[in-house]
Structure 1
Amino acid sequence: MIDFFQTLHPITQALYATLFTWGMTALGATLVFATKTLNQKLLDSMLGFAGGVMIAASYWSLLAPAIEMSEHNSIGSWFPAAFGFLLGGVFLWGIDKILPHLHPNAPIGTAEGYHPKERKRSTLLVLAITLHNIPEGLAVGIAFGALANGGTEASLAGALTLALGIGIQNFPEGVAVSMPLRGEGMSRRRSFFYGQFSGMVEPIAAVIGALAVAFIEPLLPYALSFAAGAMIFVVAEEVIPGSQEKGNKDLASMSLMIGFVVMMILDVALG
Structure 2
Amino acid sequence: MESVIHYFEQLNPVWGALYASTFTWLMTAIGAAFVFFFQKAHRGLMDGMLGFTGGVMVAASIWSLLIPAMEMSEGDGFLKVLPAVVGFLMGAGFLFALDKILPHFHSNFKKVEGLKTPWQKTTLLVLAITLHNIPEGLAVGVLFGGVAAGVPDATIAGAVTLALGIGLQNLPEGVAVSLPLRRLGMSRRKSFFYGQISAIVEPISAVVGAIAVAAFTPILPYALAFAAGAMIFVVVEEVIPEAQQNKSSDIATIGFIGGFLLMMSLDVVLG
Q: TM-score range by the shorter chain?
A: over 0.9
| 1:61 aligned residue | 64
- Does 1:265 find its partner at 2:269? no
Shift of 1:154: 7.6
- Does 1:91 find its partner at 2:94? yes
| 2:214 aligned residue | 214
* Matched residue type, 2:268: V
Paired residue total: 268
| 1:169 aligned residue | 169
**8 A contact 2:137–2:201 mirrored in 1:** yes
Paired with 2:242 and 2:24, the residues of 1 have a C-alpha distance of 21
Question: 1:103 pairs with 90, 103, 106, which one?
Answer: 106
Paired with 2:153 and 2:76, the residues of 1 have a C-alpha distance of 25
Paired with 1:231 and 1:69, the residues of 2 have a C-alpha distance of 20
Paired with 1:102 and 1:74, the residues of 2 have a C-alpha distance of 42
Paired with 2:5 and 2:255, the residues of 1 have a C-alpha distance of 30
Shift of 1:106: 2.9
Paired with 1:131 and 1:211, the residues of 2 have a C-alpha distance of 21
| 1:35 aligned residue | 38
Paired with 2:6 and 2:51, the residues of 1 have a C-alpha distance of 34
Paired with 2:56 and 2:229, the residues of 1 have a C-alpha distance of 14
**8 A contact 2:47–2:243 mirrored in 1:** yes
* Matched residue type, 2:30: L
Shift of 1:115: 1.3
Paired with 1:236 and 1:153, the residues of 2 have a C-alpha distance of 28
| 1:13 aligned residue | 16
- Does 1:242 find its partner at 2:242? yes
**8 A contact 2:58–2:231 mirrored in 1:** yes
Shift of 1:113: 0.8
Matches within 5 A, 1:43-54: 43-54=46-57
**8 A contact 2:65–2:228 mirrored in 1:** yes
Paired with 1:263 and 1:175, the residues of 2 have a C-alpha distance of 20
Paired with 2:124 and 2:245, the residues of 1 have a C-alpha distance of 18
Paired with 2:197 and 2:91, the residues of 1 have a C-alpha distance of 24
TM-score by length of 2: 0.96
Paired with 1:38 and 1:50, the residues of 2 have a C-alpha distance of 16
Deviations, residues 153-206 of structure 1 (Å, cap 9, x unaligned): 981101000000000000111011100111122110010001001010000000
TM-score by length of 1: 0.96
Stretches of structure 2 lacking an aligned partner (at least 5 in a row): none
Paired with 2:182 and 2:217, the residues of 1 have a C-alpha distance of 46
SS at the partner of 1:76?
A: helix
SS at the partner of 2:21?
A: helix
SS at the partner of 1:105?
A: coil
* Matched residue type, 1:19: T
Paired with 2:240 and 2:153, the residues of 1 have a C-alpha distance of 34
Shift of 1:81: 0.4
Paired with 2:46 and 2:192, the residues of 1 have a C-alpha distance of 16
Greater shift, 68-77 or 140-149, is seen at 68-77
Q: What's the Cα RMSD here?
A: 1.4
SS at the partner of 2:155?
A: helix
Deviations, residues 85-134 of structure 1 (Å, cap 9, x unaligned): 01100000000011110111232xx1111114x11010001000000000
| 2:181 aligned residue | 181
| 1:80 aligned residue | 83
Stretches of structure 1 lacking an aligned partner (at least 5 in a row): none
| 2:150 aligned residue | 150
Paired with 1:209 and 1:104, the residues of 2 have a C-alpha distance of 29
- Does 1:121 find its partner at 2:124? no
| 1:228 aligned residue | 228
Paired with 1:122 and 1:184, the residues of 2 have a C-alpha distance of 8
* Matched residue type, 2:53: A
* Matched residue type, 2:68: P
| 2:193 aligned residue | 193
Paired with 1:73 and 1:84, the residues of 2 have a C-alpha distance of 18
| 2:29 aligned residue | 26
